[in-house]
Structure 1
Amino acid sequence: MPRPLRRAGSRLERTLKPVTDAVLGTAAVLALRALRWFDPDKTAHLLARCARVIGPYLPEHKVGRANLRAAFPDKSPEEIESILLAVWENLGRFAAEFAHLDRIWDFDPNRPGTGRIEIAPNAQPLFEKLMNDGKGALVFAAHLGNWELPALAAPAYGLDSAVLFRRPNIAAVDRAVQDIRSLNMGETIPTALDAPVRLADALQNGAHVGMLVDQHYSKGVDITFFGRPAKANPLLARLARQIDCPIHGVRIVRLPNQRFYAELTEEIEPVRDSSGAIDIQGTTQKINTVIEGWIREHPSQWLWLHRRWR
């Protein structure tokens, strides 16, 4: 295409972007509000089927296929496609469940096994220890299963918490998402220049800081992920180096019949250098190695659709 036409196309795109963002934002907000009127389980089944049909036609499907081939070179093309279809199903269910976040977490410690949330045997005593040790903690998670649910556990039982999150690019969607999250999450801190300071303040005040740490971060430290070089966000390790506090991992994986299994790891000891200080790269690697193990157990529940390796 001639350069003048490319420039004209770019100018038109920039001019129309506020309009298209407004339209998309309005549609997303209306969809979230509409979903709350319907049964969450039936809606999750419907959106899972839709995502399974539509997903393979989207460019992210190729990204996911390339990621899976790189991570699991021993798997056949048929196995890769089967995992990818399940990834789309999980994403569809996640979308439906997001609209009902304030209604999904229903674990009752006095009546375990009666709701949709099942807790690992060691999770409850670990959680009680976090509540009663009088200090904050760092808790990492991954885009696995329903990755919004871990942020619901702490405030449900009175544990002071703060969650780092990335704002959606469209303002209307951002407001709708925050309206849903504000119903039963702790403090939410957007990724911004002041985020590390706010997170450090929260830790010093005894809050339990949660963050997703499994995506590509161009300014991150070098790690190995599924045997390949990758970049990872070192923020959690830097906070641990700045403020002495325990580190734990949390994951909530999907079970049949619209149920979930929640796990909290034992305290993870950070890697230290010869002087005894926390090693940022080594600790970041250790955390991502834990996440890799989670994904290997449940590959169909991780978000393979982003470019993790670049």
Structure 2
Amino acid sequence: MSHLTRFGHYLVCVIVRWLIILAQAVPLQVGNALARALAWLFTRVLRVRYQVADDNLRHAFPSLSPEARRDLIERMWHHLFLMVMEVAHTPRVLHEENWRRFVDLKNVRELVKRLLEDRPVILVTGHFGNFEFGGYMLGLLGFPTHTVARTLDNPFLDRFVNAFRSARGQHIIPRVGGAEQIEAVLQAGGTMAFLADQSAGRKGCFVQFFGRPASTYKAIGLLSLQYDAPIAVVYVKRLGQPMRFEMGVKAILDPREVTVRDPVTFITQWYTTQLEEIIRESPEQYWWIHRRWKEQPRVKRCAAPEDVTENEVDGELARNVA
């Protein structure tokens, strides 16, 4: 890295940190109004990724009119910008004594039981609500997790972002070369968390998501089977105002109960369907700006565990980006 590039990265990190300081200095209600204004600008003037989001919504909710889709896109941007504001405020306002003011827990008893057992656990979620808050909150409650994340090109910014994520016990595993660490976590009975709603490319497992085939990571199913790890589909949904959430468990699947001929496909479709049901309840809180359906299926089934080589598993793990 040249000295000029290094200085540029450092300058960007300084600017970002100052913006976060400014966001922390602004009351959340003011930040909420600012998020609404930015959402209007991104939707109706700049039209940032508008065509991608509109096409996704047109397929997912065919009964919506163009005006209804536009309104939903604007509400999506509002939630996204508000999430940034909330992340800036979280370390300052949330702690062990007051978290109940901000979070309602739903259907978590069975997950807590699983987390206290010796078996590993896999948490699956998507770009919905405030997923960053979820990892922070789990650590605050005494349940550390390990999450795969792409290393940012800016090393200063990468360290800054990961410092927030790991402040309460959310350990970050780098995307490149992280397969051995993931396997070590599961072997030790730890908890792995995956964002599982992005395209896995041509080699992914194609399952139905909002009525269309979507390339999905098969590594999650493979890891669940290989390490006897139950999968819990979890979410953090905003409840009408800034920093007010429902943090819940949609469903839990024990791999010991999966007896179908093609367990990887079954598990992959299962958690994808659970995510879809969560999103349908509050579609404005989902990131419709991803090109989730950009790949077309060329095979009808996912690989069974015995058909996948060690290199394929490693490659699949490397592509699970959070």
In structure 2, what is the equivalent of residue 261 of structure 1? 246
**Pairwise CA distance, 1:132:** 2.5
Higher mean C-alpha deviation, range 264-273 or range 229-238: 264-273
Structure 2 counterpart of 1:162, one-letter code: H
Tell me the distance in 2 between the aligned counterparts of 1:55 and 1:17: 33
Residue 75 of structure 1: how far off its partner (Å): 1.1
2:303 is matched with none
1:22 Cα deviation from its structure 2 partner: 5.9
Query: 2 CA distance for matches of 1:147 and 1:235?
Result: 21
Query: C-alpha distance in 2, partners of 1:167/1:272?
Result: 37
Q: Where in structure 1 are there 5+ consecutive unaligned residues?
A: 1-15
Question: 2:103 matched to 1:117?
Answer: yes
Specify the code of the residue in structure 2 equivalent to 1:159. Answer: F
**Which secondary structure does the structure 1 equivalent of 2:49 belong to?**
helix
Q: Deviations over 1:154-212 (max 9, x none)?
A: 2212224212223334333222211222222322112123x222112112212111111
* Map 1:48-67 → 2, pairs under 5 A: 48-56=36-44, 57-67=46-56
The separation in 1 between residues aligned to 2:231 and 2:207, in whole angstroms, is: 19
The residue identity in structure 1 corresponding to 2:105 is: I
**Alignment-mate amino acid for residue 67 of structure 1:** N
Give the corresponding residue for 2:184. Answer: 201
Offset, 1:145: 0.7
Q: 2:141 aligned with 1:153, yes or no?
A: no
Cα distance change on mapping 1:25 and 1:156 into 2, 3 Å: closer
Deviation string for 1:58-84 (max 9, x for gaps)?
A: 431221111111111111112111111
Question: Deviation at 1:29?
Answer: 3.2
1:1-310 map, 5 Å: 24-56=12-44, 57-103=46-92, 105=94, 114-120=100-106, 122-123=107-108, 125-193=109-177, 195-218=178-201, 219-258=203-242, 259-270=244-255, 271-274=258-261, 279-310=263-294
Q: Percent identity?
A: 26
Q: Say whether the 8 Å CA contact 2:279–2:286 is kept in structure 1.
A: yes
**How big is the shift at 1:140?**
0.5
CA offset digits 1:241-290 (Å, max 9, x no partner):
2101211011011112321111113422444443xxx7222211211111
**When the two structures are superposed, what TM-score results if normalisation uses the length of structure 2?**
0.80
Name stretches of at least 5 consecutive residues in structure 2 with no aligned partner: 295-322
Contact 1:142/1:213 (8 A) holds in 2: yes
Distance 1:107 1:85, change over 3 A: farther
Deviation at 1:53, TM superposition (A): 2.2
- Whole-angstrom CA distance in 2 between matches of 1:306 and 1:257: 25
**Residue pair 2:87, 2:133 contacting (<8 A) in 1 also:** no
Evaluate the alpha carbon distance shift between residue 21 and residue 60 of structure 1 in structure 2; reply closer, same or farther with a 3 A threshold: farther
How many aligned positions are there? 286
CA drift of 1:101 comes to 3.1
CA contact (8 A) 2:218 2:268 kept: yes
Structural RMSD (CA): 2.5
Cα distance in 1 for partners of 2:248, 2:94 equals: 14
| TM-score (norm. length: structure 1) | 0.83
For 1:12, the equivalent position in structure 2 comes to none
